[in-house]
Amino acid sequence: MWKCALSACLLAASVPAGAETLHNVRTYEAPDHTRVVFDTSGQATTNIFALTDPDRLVIDFRNSRPATDFSPDFSNVTGRRLQKVRMAARGGDYRVVLDLVRPLRRKDFWLKPIPPYNHRLVIDLFDQQAAPTARQPSQPQTHRDIVIAIDAGHGGEDPGAIGPNRVAEKQVVLSMAKKLAALFEGTPDYRVVMVRKGDYYIPLRRRTRIAHEARAHLFLSIHADAFKRPDVSGASVYMLSERGADSETARFLAERENQSDLIGGVGDVSLDDKDPYLRETLTDLAMEGKRRQSSEVGVEVLNRLSRVTKLHKKQVGHAGFVVLKTPDIPSLLVETGFISNPSEARRLNQAEHQGKITRAIYDGVVKYWRENPPPGTALAKVHGGPNANGPNSAGRVPQAGASVQAGLDADERRRREAALVAAIDGAVRSTGLRRRSSPPGSGQRPVASPLQAAGPPPSVRSP
């Protein structure tokens, strides 16, 4: 929409020894914030401060110079929060001024180098007041829509896998996510929550939280990944593993996907992790019914996918994807194909093939819910069946096949789990031990919870 004055770039003459260079600046607009990213040769000392009348943010990079090829691109800025960016040398320093539309709340942090990036300074500018979120009209408890949370992987600073001809996973999967959303939105008794709506990054834990807050019945994460060997191809469907990945490819993919927060840029990864070990233990507990459902939906989706594309795995795979780790929502990660395979990358980038893939995913999901309508939804009323009566308060855990907790209704199960959570939480606090706070080599062991005997510790780790 506008371009910055780049005359200052011409000043990039000789860079004194020990100085940092500024290589690029990018911006991304999310619904609630705008992110500005500076690529630098090293972690420069900065002085960042706000000025008013007019509102602006000043970033002084000490002892720094723009690189000779410095040519920032602000073409995706809409003027919603940022008006203009000005830059100029000031003595030995380099000053960047962000002209703001209004006062904004700021969070800034440095990210360490990780391919494809070197050092990055990230400045997130948040709206002072959260935009009013569109709430669904309140529906009677027995007439809820089935809510599908669709998560397009990666985004913003995290391009995901890059294929031949610079095909980026983040673009391909957003396009497919939008097609998938349109199919569900056009179906009576279904509603969609798009986790990511544009080209910006959302931390992995926040993705699942968005689904949780929308009381989603299903979380679908859409990806198109890369492998070390370009001949590997085909689609696969993954659910969260109970104890480790079931193949080398699965482990490789999960490691890649779980790196997203490091690449995409999260200032405080640990914020959500009150006590990761406790979380994992409890997650295991709440997981059983959800795992069965994930598996059953996954089989239907795989079945439909097999009609439109080659399958990389003929069964629902298991791997430790962080994004699937929500205890109360069945969750699947669909690898729609390998972007590292030249011919598959070409297909994945074509609208027609994207349409076939998304239709297959949609058909599989709709078939599953038609046969297993979640309690409390309009679909359960229409189709009857074992779940038609007795809506449970959350409407997320159909009874059919919940063999582990047979005999307990959903509310009772939830009450017992909550009591157990409180008990374990108390036990952890009273021992004063926290798994990750033990100094290395101190010999302290993780808190032995009464649940530990149920199996080995879960394999999932947040990045």
**Cα distance between residue 356 and residue 304, in whole Å:** 10
State yes or no: residue 160 binds Zn ion (CB under 5 A): yes
In which residue are the tokens 């994807």 written?
321
CB nearer Zn ion, residue 264 or residue 376: 264
CB nearer Zn ion, residue 156 or residue 160: 160
Helix or strand run (H / E) with residue 337: strand 331-338
Least distance (Å) between residue 173 CB and Zn ion = 7
CB nearer Zn ion, residue 65 or residue 312: 312
Site string for Zn ion, 202-231 (x = CB under 5 A): ---------------------x-x------
**In a 3-state reduction of DSSP, which class is residue 283?**
helix
CB nearer Zn ion, residue 153 or residue 364: 153
Tell me whether residue 432 is exposed, middle or buried, using C-beta atoms within 10 angstroms of its C-beta: 0 to 12, 13 to 18, 19 or more: exposed
CB nearer Zn ion, residue 158 or residue 275: 158
State yes or no: residue 196 binds Zn ion (CB under 5 A): no
Q: In degrees to the nearest 10, what's the CA dihedral of 2, 107, 199, 317?
A: 170
Least distance (Å) between residue 179 CB and Zn ion = 17
User: How far is residue 379 from each of residues 14, 53, 388, 399, measured CA to CA in Å?
Assistant: 69, 55, 8, 15
Site size for Zn ion, by CB under 5 A? 4
Q: 301 near 360, Cβ under 8 Å?
A: yes
Least distance (Å) between residue 245 CB and Zn ion = 15
Residues from 138 through 157 that contact Zn ion (CB under 5 A): 153
**Cα distance between residue 436 and residue 176, in whole Å:** 38
**In a 3-state reduction of DSSP, which class is residue 164?**
helix
The Cβ of residue 157 has, within 10 Å, a number of other Cβ atoms equal to: 23
Q: Which two tokens stand for residue 274?
A: 């009150």
Least distance (Å) between residue 153 CB and Zn ion = 4
The Cβ of residue 443 has, within 10 Å, a number of other Cβ atoms equal to: 6
CB nearer Zn ion, residue 237 or residue 286: 237
Least distance (Å) between residue 270 CB and Zn ion = 23
CB nearer Zn ion, residue 145 or residue 344: 344
State yes or no: residue 279 binds Zn ion (CB under 5 A): no
Edge-to-edge strand order for the sheet containing 331-338? Answer: 190-194, 146-152, 218-225, 331-338, 236-240, 317-319
**Whose CB is nearest to Zn ion?**
223
CB nearer Zn ion, residue 190 or residue 227: 227
Least distance (Å) between residue 338 CB and Zn ion = 11
Q: Which two tokens stand for residue 233?
A: 């191809």
> Radius of gyration of the chain from Cα atoms?
24
CB nearer Zn ion, residue 77 or residue 194: 194
Q: 424 near 435, Cβ under 8 Å?
A: no
**In a 3-state reduction of DSSP, which class is residue 397?**
coil
Residues near Zn ion (CB under 5 A): 153, 160, 223, 225
